[in-house]
Amino acid sequence: MRALNPVVVIGSGVWLELACAWIAAPLRRFGMRVVAVVLPSDPAESRSTQFGPALTALCEHLACTPLSLIQQAQGHVSLGCHYEFAARQGFIPYGFYGLQAEASEFEQVVLRCLRESPALANTISIDALSVAAQAALQQKFAIAPNTRPDLQQALAFGGQMDSVALAACLHQHNLAAGVTYHACASLVCVRNTHGIAETIKTDNGYEQPVHFLIDCRRSSDVSSHATAATPALQQPFALRLWADSRPEPLSPYSSAIQLSGSWVVKHRLADREHWQCLLQPPATVALVLAELQQKTGIADWQQVRFPVPKGMDNPWQGNVLRCGEAAAVLDQPLYDGVSALSFMLPLWLALLPGQAMRPAAASLFNTQWQLFQQEVHMYLQCHTEPLATAQGQLFARAGRLLPAETDAILPAQWFGLLVGLGLRPALPSMLLATRSTTELFSAVHQIQHSIARLVSGMPSYTDFLALTRNAV
Amino acid sequence: MLKQRIVILGGGTAGWMAAAALSRFLPSQQYSICLVESEQIGTVGVGEATIPHIRHFNQWVGIEEAEFMQATGATYKLAIRFQGWGTANSDYYHPFGVSGDMLNDLPFHQVWWWLQQQHQPTYPFDHYSFAVQLAQQKRFRFPSTDIADVASSFNYAYQLDAGKYAMLLRQHATAQGVSRIEGKVQQVLQQPNGDISELVLEQGMRLKGDFFIDCSGFSALLIGQTLQTPFENWQQWLPCDRALAMPSAADVDPAPYTLSKTMAAGWRWRIPLQHRTGNGLVYASAFLADDAAEQHLVQEVNETGFAGASIKALRFTTGRRQQSWRHNCVAIGLAAGFLEPLESTSLHLIQLALEKLLLYFPVHTAGQSIVSTSERDAFNDQMATEYQRVRDFLILHYKVNTRSEPFWQYCAHMSLPDSLQQRLALFQESGQLVAYRQGLFQPASWLAVLLGQGARPNETDFRLQAAASAPYSAWLQQYYQHLKMQAGQSPSHRQALDNSSRSSNAPPVHSLYGYREASAAGGRVCVR
Ligand SMILES: Cc1cc2nc3c(=O)[nH]c(=O)nc-3n(C[C@H](O)[C@H](O)[C@H](O)COP(=O)(O)OP(=O)(O)OC[C@H]3O[C@@H](n4cnc5c(N)ncnc54)[C@H](O)[C@@H]3O)c2cc1C
């Protein structure tokens, strides 16, 4: 049997720990080691982290429950995000709308009702047609039993967590999974003449041969040590603004508020609410601060300036995966870099590089990453100019979504966003053309009632937390 | 209110499938549907092997399985048996099902290949498929919906009489209000903006329409001849361009699979139906003369009982229209494109086009162009992806071969589309295949063909390096015996056909490979 060098993960904070958490246990099962080389923390790292339903898959790897991880990471569950758009409000859930995941044309039924009878449409709210949205807005929460996979999907949840606490918690899991850690102030990557990363050398004299290098730095250039790095004088800067406020009544969701040229997002953490906003040039900071204060009541905002991430279309090259740099470009308050990492690392693992050089796997990985990136970019763009995107145009015309090539954005998120933005399709569904509007309204009302009944039977989020704490 | 007039040109399988589906969903108060066909021109008259999605289509348009089996003389289909593909003496099945299970989170084929490398006894890859075990023993049963049961690891389709199927669809469509006009379209009139406005028939009759469905077959009268939509030619990758078809007598004991057997410059099919057997030959005219092809087919058919029927000769160019929806016209069926029948995909592509058309169906607004680019682009993009992915899968059959004849040598050395090149390179590198989000054939199918035709990855999965082979070997042996025994206890295909008018079928599932594959929980085994 070949003894392979370890997979070396470099970076800092929650992204480094998360990368290790995704890969350490599965690699260990097959006799492969993971070494983490920890660099000083990155000021651009956000103080809170929002995970979507990929959290459940991560917890399977870690052999813990999502709830215990969230609690250890000083966070709260999240059934989705409550949006305050410029002109209206809405909830964007992770779980599907209606009562059946695959119910054909349910969304079309709703759209037709909304479209056809404005008077009756007032009796329908799309938030009332999502179990998750109803539960969240009533501050309720429950985890569906394994015997109800449909309800589990309807109530799919993620978590909003304190980044430092989450990193510490993942660190413990990683140690248990055999990850070894080395801290340093800086490092160089020694490559062979073919550009393959061979060894990591740190400033404090540590040398680690590399089978594969996973680089979680937001801004890195492991190859730049071979060629002198050019100072990025012209590089534009982004500004992350953040503030904390006192916790309000416990709610299992995050919130987003639209500003004139940006968004502010609030994560509910165990001991505080954490607000953040990302500004890209040419935003005028003073104006944004004034608007932030007006919308949130918070006057005191902290700031960190960092170079606008350049993005990375081909993060896997040779035996190096530059996932930090790739994820950084999607790490905006409305989308979290951990979701991008939680796409890349399982995919990398599935294409498991037994050999260090896997050009075909790398090429496929990069193609998949580009698709993921495109879908997230389109989602983010849709927040401000939906009709400039193919998705928004198709929805406005036919009420349909483009086929997704990845799970970057779940169908319920798209639907919630587009309807929340006020888009209504011009064309009715022909698959429903023979059904009368009265019949459809009655079906929708029935589902609305069933959801209301279901949610009324759920415990409040506070009671749920108390119950689970007692159970532990 | 003025009705929106939908005109379907063509009464082949595509035309009648369109008529049956549209008349099922479009309210007759708002739409009139008229189909024009010409007996003088006739239909292509082939298209007998299908894939499981047709069950969904039948259910969609309201055709019961028992009625369907009787009306079309159909048999059940579990697989395609490929003989001579890859190597001259290969013989494998591409089933509507999966082989094996995930073992300790490792794909079954990786374990199978690793055991072979360890010189452990194994059966051919396809033998670990329940559908193949049934097919080999000429047996049939309906799939189970219980994912703990091996019978949940497959799905089934039909082999049918295309003419009879078109007739059955016609009955349904006309009962649902579709009007039929017999006549040959001689001229097509357009609006100044390019939209089609009228079809002028030979007898002088004029047929106005708001929306046209071009099901005129290879002639592509509307999408091609009238709207001049460019044709993307894929012949450099799929060089066969001719076909011969001839029926022979029915088998007493019909096989629940389609046979595809190679010859020097193409391949031949054999499709057993209840009342006859369909035979045909698909070949490349650049490598084989027409008379030699005919001789070959007759000789082969004679070996299994010649019925003396006439031979139908067909010519085609593989490829597709760059857009199947232009202006107010959607092309469906052979008018939209043609991929040779190697994997029985044409009726599926028709079904898919209809499903998508209904998703984006345009609505008439008086005096305005009824179609916008959004739905047209969505339709065209999605159909392009589906065609391209089926195309890649077909090319795979030709590319992976070590045969010596000039035709096969050409195929082995031809350059590939990038999309296929990338998939093959990944398989070669590590035995991995990635599932498509859109696209019919998933890794189970690719593996059946790749491994069946002798392709092997360069490396075994390194995760198995530290594993002991004995428990895996024992699992495979036990699984194989279990499949074989379960298959042996199933009714013969003949019995199943005799009962087909009263049996209760399994509900259709939107996976080629059955419930287990469609369920996230299915097919994971722990081997110790
Ligand atoms: C050799 C071969 C084998 C095949 N095997 C399979 C298979 O096993 N499985 C599978 O799924 N598919 C198979 N196919 C494909 C399948 O046959 C077709 O997709 C299917 O039959 C649909 O054909 P169509 O209706 O588009 O065209 P056609 O059957 O050719 O029908 C065209 C219609 O248009 C009418 N028409 C044309 N011009 C005019 C005009 N000017 N005026 C009036 N009417 C007009 C004709 O009269 C006819 O009714 C095969 C195809 C070939 C060539």
Residue by residue, pLDDT tens for chain A (472 residues) are 456 789 999 999 999 999 999 999 989 988 889 999 999 999 888 899 999 999 999 999 899 999 999 999 999 999 999 999 888 889 999 999 998 876 778 999 999 888 877 666 666 788 999 999 999 999 999 999 989 989 999 999 999 999 999 999 999 999 999 999 999 999 999 999 988 999 999 999 999 999 999 999 998 654 333 333 344 445 677 888 899 998 888 899 999 999 988 899 999 999 999 999 998 777 788 888 999 999 999 999 999 888 888 889 999 999 999 999 999 999 989 999 999 999 999 999 988 766 767 899 999 999 999 999 999 999 999 998 999 999 999 999 999 999 999 999 999 999 999 998 989 998 889 999 889 988 998 999 999 999 999 999 999 999 999 988 766 5
**CATH number (domain holding residue B214):** 3.50.50.60
Report the C-alpha gap between B124 and B109 in whole angstroms: 11
What are the pLDDT digits (tens) for B239-274? 999 999 999 999 999 999 999 999 999 999 999 999
Pairing of strands B206-208, B196-201: antiparallel
Cβ atoms within 10 Å of B343's Cβ, excluding its own:
23
- Residue B347 falls within a domain, yes or no? yes
Alpha-carbon gap: B301 to the closest alpha carbon of chain A (Å): 44
- Domains within chain A, CATH numbers bracketed: 7-75+161-231+309-374 (3.50.50.60), 80-156+375-468 (no CATH)
- Residue B326 falls within a domain, yes or no? yes
Report the C-alpha gap between A22 and A174 in whole angstroms: 9
Looking at the structure, do residues B229 and B322 belong to the same domain, yes or no?
yes
Ligand 1: atom nearest CA of B17 is: 25
Our separate counts of H helices and E strands in chain B read: 15, 23
Alpha-carbon gap: A188 to the closest alpha carbon of chain B (Å): 29
Count residue pairs from A and B with Cβ separation < 8 A.
Answer: 101
Residue-level pLDDT at A227: 35
User: Which residue's CA is minimally distant from atom 13 of ligand 1?
Assistant: B47
- Residue B254 falls within a domain, yes or no? yes
Q: Is the CB of B52 under 6 A from ligand 1?
A: no
What are the pLDDT digits (tens) for B4-21? 999 999 999 999 999 999
Measured distance between the N- and C-terminal CA atoms of chain B, rounded to whole angstroms = 71
Residue B475 burial (CB < 10 Å; 0-12/13-18/19+)? buried
User: DSSP string of A428-450?
Assistant: PPGGGTTS-HHHHHHHHHHHHHH
From A253, A283, A264, A301, select the one nearest A77 (Cα to Cα).
A253
Looking at the structure, do residues B226 and B271 belong to the same domain, yes or no?
no
- Residue B439 falls within a domain, yes or no? no
User: DSSP string of A312-360?
Assistant: -S--EETTEE-HHHHHHTT-BTTB-HHHHHHHHHHHHHHT--SSS--HH
Residue-level pLDDT at A121: 65
Looking at the structure, do residues B250 and B265 belong to the same domain, yes or no?
yes
- Residue B167 falls within a domain, yes or no? yes
Residue B347 has pLDDT above 60, yes or no: yes
What are the pLDDT digits (tens) for B92-137? 999 999 999 999 888 999 999 999 999 999 999 999 999 999 999 9
Report the C-alpha gap between B445 and B451 in whole angstroms: 10
Residue-level pLDDT at B307: 61
Looking at the structure, do residues B229 and B324 belong to the same domain, yes or no?
yes
> Which one of B296, B315, B334 terminates a domain?
B315
Q: Which residues are within 8 A (CB) of A164 and not within 5 positions of it... i.e. 6 or more apart? A: A13, A14, A47
Pairing of strands A48-51, A158-162: antiparallel
Contact criterion met (CB < 8 Å) for A31 and B466: yes
Looking at the structure, do residues B206 and B327 belong to the same domain, yes or no?
yes
From B128, B132, B152, B127, select the one nearest B142 (Cα to Cα).
B152
B459 part of contact set with chain A, CB < 8 Å? yes
Looking at the structure, do residues B296 and B309 belong to the same domain, yes or no?
yes
Looking at the structure, do residues B173 and B229 belong to the same domain, yes or no?
yes
What are the pLDDT digits (tens) for B330-344? 999 999 999 999 999
State residue B343 phi and psi, 5-degree precision. Answer: -120, 20
- Residue B458 falls within a domain, yes or no? no
Task: Sort out which chain B residues have CB atoms less than 8 A from A362's CB and list them.
Answer: none
Looking at the structure, do residues B306 and B168 belong to the same domain, yes or no?
no
**CA dist list (Å): B349 to B35, B51, B260, B320, B439:** 20, 10, 20, 12, 11
User: Which residue's CA is minimally distant from atom 41 of ligand 1?
Assistant: B185
A428 part of contact set with chain B, CB < 8 Å? yes
Report the C-alpha gap between A375 and A369 in whole angstroms: 10
Ligand 1: atom nearest CA of B316 is: 53
Give ∠ CA B52-B55-B56 in degrees, rounded to 5. 105
State residue A276 phi and psi, 5-degree precision. Answer: -150, 155
Task: Sort out which chain B residues have CB atoms less than 8 A from A25's CB and list them.
Answer: none
- H/E element holding A155? none
Q: State the distance from the centre of ligand 1 to the C-alpha of B45, rounded, in angstroms.
A: 6
- Give the pLDDT mean for B29-33: 94
Alpha-carbon gap: A396 to the closest alpha carbon of chain B (Å): 9
A349 part of contact set with chain B, CB < 8 Å? no
Report the C-alpha gap between A455 and B135 in whole angstroms: 50
Report the C-alpha gap between A204 and A182 in whole angstroms: 10
Residue-level pLDDT at A222: 42
Q: Chain centroid to CA A143: how far?
A: 20
ipTM of the complex: 0.90
> Which one of B273, B297, B315 terminates a domain?
B315
- Residue B100 falls within a domain, yes or no? no
Report the C-alpha gap between B420 and B395 in whole angstroms: 8
Amino acid at B343: E
Looking at the structure, do residues B299 and B170 belong to the same domain, yes or no?
no
Report the C-alpha gap between A235 and A223 in whole angstroms: 19
A402 part of contact set with chain B, CB < 8 Å? yes
Contact criterion met (CB < 8 Å) for B462 and A30: yes
Q: Is the CB of B201 under 6 A from ligand 1?
A: no
Looking at the structure, do residues B306 and B283 belong to the same domain, yes or no?
yes
Q: Provide the number of structural domains found in chain B.
A: 2
From the list B27, B430, B438, the residue facing A358 with the nearest CB is: B430
Residue with tokens 């194989």: B480
> Which one of B336, B354, B389 terminates a domain?
B389
Q: Which of residues 24-83 of B touch A (CB under 8 A)?
A: 25-27, 30
Whether the Cβ atoms of residue A21 and residue A62 lie closer than 8 Å to each other? yes
Cβ atoms within 10 Å of B296's Cβ, excluding its own:
19
Contact criterion met (CB < 8 Å) for B359 and A2: no
Active-site residue set of B: 77
Residue-level pLDDT at A309: 84
- Residue B489 falls within a domain, yes or no? no
What are the pLDDT digits (tens) for B154-171? 999 999 999 999 999 999
Looking at the structure, do residues B220 and B328 belong to the same domain, yes or no?
yes
Contact criterion met (CB < 8 Å) for B374 and A393: yes
From A355, A324, A352, select the one nearest A340 (Cα to Cα).
A324
Residue with tokens 């008349």: B23
Range of the structural domain that residue B196 is part of:
4-44+161-233+318-389
From the list A354, A368, A405, the residue facing B461 with the nearest CB is: A354
Report the C-alpha gap between B418 and B324 in whole angstroms: 23
Dihedral sign of CA atoms B43, B47, B48, B53 in order: negative
User: Which residue's CA is minimally distant from atom 33 of ligand 1?
Assistant: B10
Looking at the structure, do residues B166 and B289 belong to the same domain, yes or no?
no
